[in-house]
Structure 1
């Protein structure tokens, strides 16, 4: 993989709609942590491709224990407990505040700066995750 993993590298068609944007958000969340790129990519594959956790509801409904197990399968073990907790909260927040849609977050954020501020309000989402996510999402949204 290149120095920066893209949505395309993971087989995510960012222009194909909401589910693909959510997949990229999950991938960006995983890549945004201090963990090796290949481990983050494998965690994405385990969660989204192999276990179809490709919507906020599916992710949230997976549960803490199962998420920790799946992250462990991908060797994403350094932060498995905290990452699982934050992924569950990510799903909850998207469902509760944005009707489960990143598109709604985009609409309410209005500007790129507004969208980035809303993204930073998710627990565990920091500037690096926002940078990674927006690198691709901005091409669709702005």
Structure 2
């Protein structure tokens, strides 16, 4: 198996706070699917860097078709339609239930187990995505 792509390799510095942590959350979401890591990384770069969709609100302001097109631009085509739908639902839930902040999920969780459970309650986020996300997030959330 290829080595795992880190937040740093994507130019994400999670020690810089909520915005960077959200970028890693989106990257982790894309990496968590059965798709090549370099394709997931390209899709991340298209959405977050090229199109500047780097907050839950900015992603929610996209149409489903705009997200499908961005994923396609990053060659993330195998799951583009379901991924676009889940990204919209993920950001909507983050905005509505946690004020758009991953830090609020952490604050409302009594321990890591509960934190991981809450992350897993987002549609399209399974154990693999939680594992990928927490690999980096634990560095600032310890």
TM-score normalised by length of structure 2: 0.98
Superposition RMSD in Å: 0.7
Aligned residue for 1:138, secondary structure, equals helix
**Structure 1: 4+ residue segments shifted above 3 A:** none
Q: CA deviation at 1:78?
A: 0.3
1:56 match: 56
Q: CA deviation at 1:100?
A: 0.3
1:33 match: 33
2:122 match: 122
Q: CA deviation at 1:110?
A: 2.6
Distance 2:136 2:83 in 1: 22
Q: CA deviation at 1:139?
A: 1.0
Q: Gapped runs of 5+ residues in structure 2? A: none
1:3 match: 3
1:109 match: 109
Q: Deviations over 1:51-74 (max 9, x none)?
A: 111100001111100000000001
Q: Deviations over 1:34-93 (max 9, x none)?
A: 000110000000000111111000011111000000000011000000000000001100
1:23 match: 23
Distance 2:8 2:110 in 1: 26
TM-score normalised by length of structure 1: 0.98
Aligned residue for 2:61, secondary structure, equals helix
Q: CA deviation at 1:109?
A: 1.3
Q: Gapped runs of 5+ residues in structure 1? A: none
1:45 match: 45
Q: Deviations over 1:117-137 (max 9, x none)?
A: 000000000000000000000
Residues matched between the structures, number: 141
